[in-house]
Amino acid sequence: MRGLSSRLTSRVLVLAAVVFATLGPGAVSADDSLELLSAEERAYVEKIQGALATGFGVSVAVDAGLGGGASNGSSAEGELDTAGTLEVLAAANLILSGVAGTLRETPPTSMRGLIETNMGVAEVLENSYASCKAAAAEEGANSALQWGRDALGDVFGLPLGDGGSTVAGKARVLSCVASENAKVNDALRVAQDALYARVDEIKKEEELERELLGDQGGAMCFIATAAYGTSSAPEIDVLRDFRDEVLMQSESGRDLVGFYYAASPPVAEFIARHEMLRTAVREAIVDPIVAVVSATDCLWSPAHP
């Protein structure tokens, strides 16, 4: 019966996590909140949202798997189902480790500021419930010891003392689980808040860019793009990264970007119409700037802490 109980609690755990990921408050919605993000950014945000929703569902599922004892602080009567508890906690850790794996994935360039936060949260998730599993295993050993003492006591007709599993021992395990649930949820909220804050920043940056560019949008609005003759040159990606990770992070930097957006369209258009000038601007101005920015990448890029 105990083996059957363990299998059922693990199934409850997995099912609850999946349902929460689908219907929970962290689930991806079909609104327009991400419309200003690039396709790569949207895909990343939706993937992280789904992973975090799964993570939030784990504490609910753990509590369901343990009969609700962790959430209400109840010790309940009877001994701790050690095997069932260990299986539930192991399944929870497995799911959270999967969430951690998603958080460890490299985000788009514009979101690399999340790396440090995500790594810290991932570490918490990967180590989740370790102390509770140790406490449950100890309580199981105490239970086995008490069973042996009871058996010997029955044989010899002597009370051999109470050193086994107790209601208090079970309560300690459930208290540990409740504490760990809170720790996991707090870590997930940190990752969620950081993600949404960065999304809001990107949306504001995009809105600012559109406002500054007005009806003059297009690749030729940027001097670097005009110099290279394409908006997909890898050198331009370097400059975009520097803009997003350095300039857009301060008021003075944003002012500089705003001035560039306002002043560059006519200059870029003129450069684009003259091949020799494009070459001169590219080789004498843009290439050296790109070289300096690339050489100092380790100082400003989140990918190089």
pLDDT of residue 51: 92
d(CA 227, CA 274): 10
Residues recorded for the chain:
305
Cβ neighbours of residue 37 closer than 8 Å, sequence gap 6 or more: 45, 199, 202, 203, 206
- CA-nearest of 124, 143, 37 to 84 is 143
- Where along the chain do its domains lie? 2-203, 217-300
- CA-nearest of 230, 288, 1, 240 to 109 is 240
Asked whether the predicted pLDDT for residue 198 surpasses 50, the reply is yes
Tens digits of residue pLDDT in 52-66: 999 998 888 888 777
Asked whether the predicted pLDDT for residue 289 surpasses 80, the reply is yes
Question: Helix 167-213 vs helix 130-156: angle between axes, to the nearest 10 degrees?
Answer: 170
Beta carbons of 125 and 184 less than 8 angstroms apart: yes
pLDDT of residue 3: 47
Tens digits of residue pLDDT in 253-268: 777 877 777 777 777 7
- Which is higher by pLDDT, 117 or 169? 117
pLDDT of residue 163: 47
